Amino acid sequence: MSNDTTKKKLKLKVSAIKEGTVIDHIPAQNLFKVITILGLDKIENQITFGTNLESQKLGSKAIIKVSDKFFENDEINKIALIAPDAKLNIIRDYEVVEKKIVKAPEIIKGIVKCFNPKCITNNEKVTTCFKVLSTSPVTLRCRYCEKMTIGEQMRML
Amino acid sequence: MKRDLISITDYSKEEYLKIMDLAAEFEKNPNQDLLKGKVVASLFFEPSTRTRLSFETAINRLGGKIVGFADPQNSSSTKGETLHDTIKMVSNYADLIVMRHPLEGAARYAAEVSPVPIINAGDGANQHPTQTLLDMYSILKTQGTFDNLNIFMVGDLKYGRTVHSLLMAMSQFDTPIFNFIAPAELQMPEEYKMFLRENDIRYFEHREFTDIISEADIIYMTRVQKERFSDPMEYEQVKNIYILRNSMLENTKPNMKILHPLPRVNEIHTDVDKNEKAYYFTQALNGMYTREAIITHIMNLK
Ligand SMILES: [Zn+2]
C-alpha cells in the first residue's frame, strides 16, 4: 500500500462523522480518564473510539469521535493535563473545518485529587483547586495545603 | 472586602511594614481598647497552649471578648460536625476568627466559608504566618533593618514551616544572604532554593555547624525531631551535631541574635540562655505585640 492510500484511509476513518469533534493523539492509557473528564459517559451523542493505535510520538494512542458535539475551550482544556498532545478536528458536513490543540488552564478546579493526605480537600467535601505551574512534568500547587502534586502522583477524582 | 491572614505570602512588603509599625506602638502601649464591643472566636481544633495564650492575651489587651475552645475534645468537630458547618455557625457570632487546625489548607478553606476575617494560627505542617511576623518583628527590633542581613537557618530545614515562611518574607527585602545548616535528610527543599535562584538571592548550604556562624546577623534555630527520620540511626548520628553552645558564640558579630520558635528540646544548650545574644524568650513576648498589630490591621482598627 502506498503512503498516499494509507493517508486517505486514515483521513476517511477520522472524517467518518458528519458533524462533531474528533479528538486525536490521546495517550492510550488515559482514554477512559478523558472520557470521564469530558463527561462523555453521561451524554447520549454517538461516540466511537479507537485505542492502542500506533503512534510515533506517543507509542500507543487513542482517538475519540463525538457526533454533534462541539467543545468550549474551557471544557476541552481540562484534558490538557492527561492528554497534552491532543489535537481536535472540528467536523462540519464530513469536512475538517477547524483544528485545535489543547492548552493547560492556569487554574484547574475539581478533576484532580491533591497528593497530600493531610490536605483539607482529602478530608472534607471541598472542591480541589490547583495552580498549574508546569505541564511537563505536570506540576500543580494546591490552593489549600500549598503542596505540589507532580507527574505520576496525579490522580483523577 | 474582608482581609484574612492565611499564608505569609498573601501579604505585601508594605503590609509587613505596617504591621511592624503597629507592633512597635503596642510594645510602648499594650493596653488599647480598640476591640471594645467586639467578639473574637478562638478555635483550637488542635491544642497549642503557647500560641493560644499569646493570641488570647493580645485580644484581652485590646479589650475584646473571647469565645471558643482550647481543646478539640470539647468542640463540635468531635461530634462529627464538618469544619464548614463549625465556621458557618461561629461566624454568625464572632467578628473575627482565630483558628488552629491539624489539616493543611483548613484555614484557606475556612476563609472561603466565613464572612468574617480568619487568622490562621497554624494549619498542620503548612502555614503559621503570625509566627513569621513575630520573627520579623524580632529581627527588625534587634537589627534596625530588614536589608542586607545574613540569616543562618539551622536544624530541620525540610519540614520546618517557620523557616520556609521566614525565607519567603525576608526575600522581599534588599539583598539578604541565607546560610542553611542541616543534615542531609533535612535540607532546605529544592522549591525554596529554586525560588532564591530565580530572584538572584544568594544562599549557601552547609552540613557542619562550625565557626561559619561568625558571619551571621541572625541564627534561626529549629528542632531536629526524631520522627522526621526514616532511619533511627541517622537521627542518633545528627542529634548532637546541631546543638548551639555558648562556647560557639565567641567570635560571632556583636549585633547577632539567636531566634527559636520554641519550645526547644536540646538544640540550644541552656548555657546560651544567659548570653545577651539569646533572644528567643523576648521573641516570644514580641508575639503578643505582633498579634495585637495583626488583629488591628485585619479589623482596620487603626
Ligand atoms: Zn492540598
Say whether B104 and A143 touch across the interface (CB within 8 A).
no
**At which residue does the C-alpha cell 478523558 appear?**
A34
Instruction: Report pLDDT for A1.
Output: 46
Q: Between B104, B125, B191, which is nearest A120 by CB?
A: B104
Q: What does the pLDDT look like over A84-122, one tens digit per residue?
A: 899 999 999 999 999 999 998 999 998 899 999 999 999
Q: Is B262 annotated as a binding residue?
A: yes
Q: Which of A84, A101, A118 is the last residue of a domain?
A: A101
B142-151, B177-186, B230-239 — which is least confidently predicted?
Answer: B230-239
Which part of chain B is CATH 3.40.50.1370? 8-128+287-298, 129-284
Per CATH, which fold does B8-128+287-298 belong to?
Rossmann fold (3.40.50)
Minimum Cα–Cα distance from A144: chain B residue:
B105
A129 lies in the same domain as A58: no
- Catalytic center residues of B: 50-51, 79, 100, 128
- Three-state DSSP class for residue A91: strand
DSSP E strands, B77-182:
96-101, 118-123, 150-154, 177-181
Has residue A16 got a pLDDT over 90? Answer: no
**A82 closest CA partner among A129, A30, A41:** A30
Distance CA A122, CA B262 (A): 30
Listing DSSP states for B9-27 in one string gives GGS-HHHHHHHHHHHHHHH
Instruction: Report pLDDT for B195.
Output: 96
Domain with residues B129-284, CATH architecture = 3-Layer(aba) Sandwich (3.40)
Q: What spatial distance separates the first Cα and last Cα of chain B, rounded to whole Å?
A: 17
Instruction: Report pLDDT for B74.
Output: 65
A127 lies in the same domain as A80: no
Q: Is A129 annotated as a binding residue?
A: no
How far are the Cα atoms of A2, A8, A17, A65, B145 from residue A5, in angstroms, in the given order? 5, 5, 20, 22, 75
A85 is in which domain, residue-wise?
3-101
Between A136 and B220, residue with greater pLDDT:
B220
Domain count for chain A: 2
Q: Between B7, B103, B109, which is nearest A118 by CB?
A: B103
Q: Hey, what's the cell of B86?
A: 463549625
Residue B4 with chain A: CB contacts under 8 Å: none
A24 lies in the same domain as A91: yes
Has residue A9 got a pLDDT over 70? Answer: no
